[in-house]
């Protein structure tokens, strides 16, 4: 069980180093730099005009649509990976080659149809 994760020890180690590195850089600046806050410095930058209210209003539904599209397609791309890696092995087996190609071709067609449907419904138009 634990042996599977052994190659990930360096990943964990370096993740810790990188976190510390980022922390040190940011903290060093906090210690070395001056601290002279003024009221004007604190106003959000809007090209010299004072902001009228908080910008956190509702924003376009298009961004949510993009996020949903991403979830769908990224998952489907991940489904392709194991098939792609083993594809040469599948093709080497004469009895299975046609199944290996045909099943994934069907999957890609369904994927393309889904994409076409989304396009027709206007999920990707930003006018």
Partner 1 sequence: MLMVILAALLKFAAIVLGFVMVLATLLTLIERKQSALMQNRTGPNRAFVFGKNPLSAFVGQLIADPVKVLLKETFDPPHADTWLHRLAPGLAFIPALLMWVVIPFGPGPVPGAEGDNFFLMADLDAGVLVVFAIASLSVYGSTLGAWASRSAFSLLGGLRTAAQMVSYEVTLGLNLVGIFMIYGSLNLNDIIWAQAGYDAATGFQNAYFLGFIPKWGIITQPFAFIFFLAASIAETKRAPFDLPEAESELAAGYFTEYSSMGFAVFSLGEFIGIVVVAALGATMFLGGWHIPGLPIELTAAGQPVIASLATWLSVAAFLFKVVLLVLLQMTIRWTLPRFRYDQLMHLGWVYLLPLSLANVAITAFVLFLTR
Sites for partner 1 among residues 17-76 (CB under 8 A): 17-19, 21-23, 25-26, 28-30, 32-37, 41-47, 51, 54-56, 59, 62-63, 66-67, 69-70, 73-74
With beta carbons less than 8 A apart as the criterion, state whether 100 and 90 touch: yes
Based on the shown chain and the rule CB under 8 A, indicate whether residue 114 belongs to the binding site for partner 1. no
Q: Could you say whether residue 111 binds partner 1 (CB under 8 A)?
A: yes
Q: Which residue has the tokens 């069980």?
A: 1
Measured from the CB atom, the residue of 1 and 127 that comes closer to partner 1 is 127
If one asks whether residue 124 binds partner 1 (CB under 8 A), the answer comes out as yes
Residues 6+ apart with CB under 8 A from 90: 96, 97, 99, 100, 101
Cα(80)–Cα(60) distance, integer angstroms: 32
């Amino acid at each position: 069980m634990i042996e599977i994760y052994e190659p990930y020890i360096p990943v964990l180690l370096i993740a810790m180093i990188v976190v510390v590195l980022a922390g040190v850089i940011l903290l060093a600046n906090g210690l070395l730099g001056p601290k002279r806050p003024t009221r004007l410095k604190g106003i959000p930058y809007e090209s010299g005009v004072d902001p009228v209210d908080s910008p956190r209003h509702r924003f376009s539904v298009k961004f949510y649509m993009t996020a949903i599209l991403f979830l769908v397609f990224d998952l489907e791309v991940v489904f392709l990976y194991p098939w792609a890696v083993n594809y040469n092995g599948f093709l080497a087996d004469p009895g299975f080659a046609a199944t290996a190609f045909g099943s994934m071709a069907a999957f890609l067609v369904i994927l393309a149809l889904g994409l076409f449907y989304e396009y027709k419904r206007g999920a990707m138009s930003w006018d």
